[in-house]
Structure 1
Amino acid sequence: MKAAFYTLAGTALFVAQTLHAAPLRVAADPVPHAEILEYVKTIDPKLDLKIIEMSSGGINPNELLASGEVDANYFQHLPYLKDQEKALGKTFSVAAAVHIEPLGLYSHKVKSLAALPEGASIAVPNNAPNLSRSLWLLQKNGLLKLKSVGDAASTLVTPADISDNPKKLKIIQIESPQIPRALDDVDAAIINGNYALEAGLVPAKDALALESADHNPYANLLVTTPERLKDPRIAELAKDLTSPQVAEFIRKNYNGSVIPVEGLKHD
């Protein structure tokens, strides 16, 4: 019995040593997430970090996390994560809230919201959290009214919740990564910050309307599994991502298009 116990204990120790000898695998969108992680590697070289960049419209990073192919991911906000947990039947854990990418309304055809014509086509993300977020942004900027009382942080809405649409806007739902490519085919489009940056847009300058970062419930998160949350490497990466050095890197490199959570006003 003792021999069996020592064998099991030795196996567990070997597995633990192997786990901590391996790189910490983090799936991330190329911009800005992977760029921020690359900076983390320069300020914390002892953290053996393997960054796995996710191409637009590719494999779901949450599926990779659930299957054990990565140890964490960094690309999503909490409402999207909660929606994913329901869709995948999985439970994930938030290790850190890092930055805000304000959602923006962009156009290649008009220069202002007032110039949007009657019947204008507006492309919006087709996933429930960002669709809702888009409709709240349109209401905030006076382009439509919603039946629902509440706010973007607590109330999911759909086009069925529109009570007043004075410009008769046509809401066209498209997969988030594809929306920048649709800009020439619609009058305007609401684009997530990371996809806007990847497309060469500068949200702080190019957006006709932009979410406020203060009291914004859509902070991008470092996400892992409940089991891996105990991994000290995850804790170290979370500490790095929320450090003053990373906050300053974000401010200097993204000029208000990506905003560190540090220093923001919260509800």
Structure 2
Amino acid sequence: MTGRLFGRIARALSIGAAFGAVFAATTGWAADPVHLKVGIRGGISEPIWEIVARVAKPRGLEIEPVVMAGSLSPNEALNTGDLQANAFQHIPFLRDQIAQRGYKLAVVGNTYLSPIAFYSKTYKSLKDLPNGARVGVPDDPSNESRALIVLRDEGLLSLRDGFDAYNQTATLADIKENPRKLQIVEVKSVVLARSYQDLDAAAIISSFGSQVGLNAARDGIAQEKRDNNPNVNIIVVREQDKDAPWVKPLVESFQSPEVRAHIEKELAGILIPAF
């Protein structure tokens, strides 16, 4: 009798385990969720990643957004394994970081476009800038390039022949013609956002501008083109993890209807979904 009872219990446990395995495979549920630390910048990214974390739970992921402030590098922390992923940069920035520091990192998905725009307390258009105007641009290579491209597209300067924004970054040395003799000042993005009024105009990334109440669509006097733009923000992991089973549900959790709805409703004019 005791042997038969144990046999029934064993069969029941076996059936339950099999059902659990099928349920996990078809729904993404896992008894032991995968814990992921994702490096982000503070501000508008934080509520977005709170939504991502909620969406990811039924997919078997426990996401811990880690706000990297100041000079802390989400790419360095990812490369050393302190993070499992990060989401704060666009492809040209990552390309420059890999070239400079030899990081072994891979892009696994798009997030949004954080457009760069020019702002001014004095002028309504870049075309109104006088000769010798002081113009602030970000001091990191990729975002400085974006600002110079806007100035080029607005007809204020020209860049060297053959410049390709998809594969190259432009610096002040790449300016071919500057007929208005603009004084272009390189400044850290976080500083530009808080002191743009001290310049005739300044190029500010939306994620920094939003921290001081600026909205590119509402307040900008010129904005980068959205079509065929290589500066879409991305989710990045280590090369060795790019095919890990948690990567796909991580990307799907960001590229979800819930995240899209939040961006389009709460961040209109600041961010543009890129999925």
TM-score range, shorter chain: 0.7 to 0.9
CA–CA separation in structure 1 for the residues paired with 2:100 and 2:200 = 32
- Could you tell me the percent identity over the aligned residues? 35
Give 1:62 deviation, angstroms: 0.5
Give 1:109 deviation, angstroms: 2.5
Query: What's 2:132 paired with?
Result: 119
Q: Does 1:50 align with 2:64?
A: yes
Give 1:152 deviation, angstroms: 2.2
Query: What's 1:205 paired with?
Result: 218
Give 1:22 deviation, angstroms: 5.8
Larger Rg: 2
CA–CA separation in structure 1 for the residues paired with 2:216 and 2:200 = 17
CA–CA separation in structure 1 for the residues paired with 2:62 and 2:54 = 11
Gaps of 5+ in 2: 1-31
Structure 2 residue matching 1:58: 3-state secondary structure: coil
Give 1:68 deviation, angstroms: 1.3
Query: What's 2:186 paired with?
Result: 173
Query: What's 1:34 paired with?
Result: 46
Query: What's 2:270 paired with?
Result: 257
Query: What's 1:60 paired with?
Result: 73
What pairs with 1:1-267 in structure 2 (closer than 5 Å)? 23-46=35-58, 47-55=61-69, 57-262=70-275
Deviations 1:115-135 (A, max 9, x none): 322211111111211111211
**Structure 1 residues 215, 225: closer, same or farther in 2, change over 3 A?**
same
CA–CA separation in structure 1 for the residues paired with 2:141 and 2:49 = 28
CA–CA separation in structure 1 for the residues paired with 2:161 and 2:170 = 7
Deviations 1:15-62 (A, max 9, x none): xxxxx656210010123322211111233334311111122x330110
Structure 1 contact 193–203 (Cα < 8 Å) conserved: yes
Deviations 1:154-184 (A, max 9, x none): 3322222222212211111112222212313
Structure 1 contact 148–157 (Cα < 8 Å) conserved: no
Give 1:95 deviation, angstroms: 1.4
Structure 1 contact 229–235 (Cα < 8 Å) conserved: no
> After the TM superposition, which of the residue ranges 213-222 and 45-54 deviates more from structure 2?
45-54
Structure 2 residue matching 1:44: 3-state secondary structure: helix
Structure 1 residue matching 2:239: 3-state secondary structure: coil
CA–CA separation in structure 2 for the residues paired with 1:59 and 1:203 = 27
TM-score, scaled to structure 2? 0.82
Structure 2 residue matching 1:173: 3-state secondary structure: strand
Deviations 1:192-214 (A, max 9, x none): 12111122111111111111222
CA–CA separation in structure 2 for the residues paired with 1:213 and 1:153 = 14
Task: Report how many residues are paired.
Answer: 242
CA–CA separation in structure 2 for the residues paired with 1:232 and 1:33 = 24
Give 1:249 deviation, angstroms: 2.1
Give the aligned residue type for 1:54.
M
Give 1:67 deviation, angstroms: 1.5
